Structure 1
Amino acid sequence: MRITRNRPDTRSGPAEHFNGTVWLDEVAAPGPPSGLRVFSVHFAPGGHTAWHTHPHGQILHVTEGEGLVQRRGGPVELIRAGDTVWIEPDEWHWHGAAPHAFMTHLAVVEAAEDGTTIHWHTDPGVPEYPAVRGAQHARDAV
């Protein structure tokens, strides 16, 4: 058993992979033979990831606030504190805070044999986040 009392410093989400203000805290990365990685990700209103995939999928568990998540070709979905999202292996997606609220989630991934946990993508055919801000109206219907 190991108890980690001193985690790495909080770091900001790099601009090439995140829009808006996003902060990342590594919660767990136990090392081989485990490929488990857990992050607490804090999004300011409107902050979000770029399109990306994970070789073994991803679990998002929203701990506070309201956010948005979308898989490629699917609708923008509203997520709230207590919601858990399973993203399939290699499924294109993005996620972040709703335009009007902060959002924090735990992100759980498993590294591939080469240590890779994420692949970042760009696709000019996919609408940018401001184009999906209409999803804010979805919260009134939920």
Structure 2
Amino acid sequence: MRLVLLLVAVVALGGCSSADQDVAHLQQEQDAISAATRKIKVVARANVKGNLQYTVLGRAEGYCFNRPNETGGQVIHGDGLRAAAYREYGDQVDAIVNTSVWFVPDDDYGAYEPYTEGGYFECAGTAVHFTGESAPFAKPKTAPAS
């Protein structure tokens, strides 16, 4: 009987270390995604200031609280816009342009006022990769020396 209990304990401990490794791996993966998505710029317009040339990677959709470039607020089940673009296109994503946001009600009826109804916001845009050098920022003009 003691041998059986000892074997069960060994198997259980082995299973725990495997689960701990899985959790550690998932945490490392999430940390890598968080670090990579911080660099992704999100803009409502077609151009990113300082980076005029880019290659279109494709459409990205995610969940968002309010605006696509919102960093705070509640993100419900699933990826935010930056994370969705990163999962789809990897490290190639430098920015998401032409973003839009819409409210998705919890029921079959359209919400008259999104903040008073049950539901959530989704957002989308076009993931892009910068291809040219960054445009230099304009230097302030100085008065000529007299």
TM-score, normalised to structure 2's length?
0.23
Q: Which has the larger radius of gyration?
A: 2
Which structure has more helix as a fraction of its residues? 2
Provide TM-score, normalisation by structure 1. Answer: 0.24
Structure with bigger strand share is: 1
